[in-house]
Copies of this chain bind each other. A is one copy, B any other.
C-alpha cells in the first residue's frame, strides 16, 4: 500500500486514511483504529502514524481524544456571519486565550473582521462563513 520510493510515507498514509474516511468506512463520531494497530496494518513506525494523523487533524477531519482514540469529526455546519461595509477580513492563528475560550482545535485559524482598525469580530475559521451584504 505504501511505496517507500514515492512521496513521504506519512503523506501516503494520510491520503489512504482520508480516502477511507470519506468513503464512509468510519462514519462521523466513530473511532479510527488505534495508532498501534495502524502501525501494524500499514507496516510503518510511530512517527509516520503521528505525522499522518496530525495532518488529518489540522484539516479538521478527526479529533484526538486523549485516553479514547481518534474520532471522525461531525461535518461542520458553517455559521453564517454578516460582515459590515468597509470591513477588512484577515485570517491568523488564534491567541492562546482565543483557543481556550472558543475551543479552537490545534491548527485551526481565526477570521478577524475589522472596521477602521477596530476589531468587530473574531471567528473560528472552520465553523464560519462570512457573508457580505
Contact = CB atoms under 8 A, between A and B. Distances in A.
Interface of A: 58-60, 78, 80, 83-91, 93, 107, 109, 111, 125-126, 128-133
7 contacts: A58-B93, A58-B107, A83-B132, A87-B132, A89-B130, A90-B125, A109-B109
A88 to B, nearest CB: 5
Q: What is the oligomeric copy number?
A: 2
A91 B90 CA distance: 10
A88 B130 contact: yes
A58 B107 CA distance: 8
Given A58-B107, A85-B132, 14 more contacts: A84-B132, A86-B131, A86-B132, A86-B133, A88-B130, A89-B129, A90-B128, A90-B129, A90-B130, A91-B91, A91-B109, A91-B128, A109-B109, A132-B132
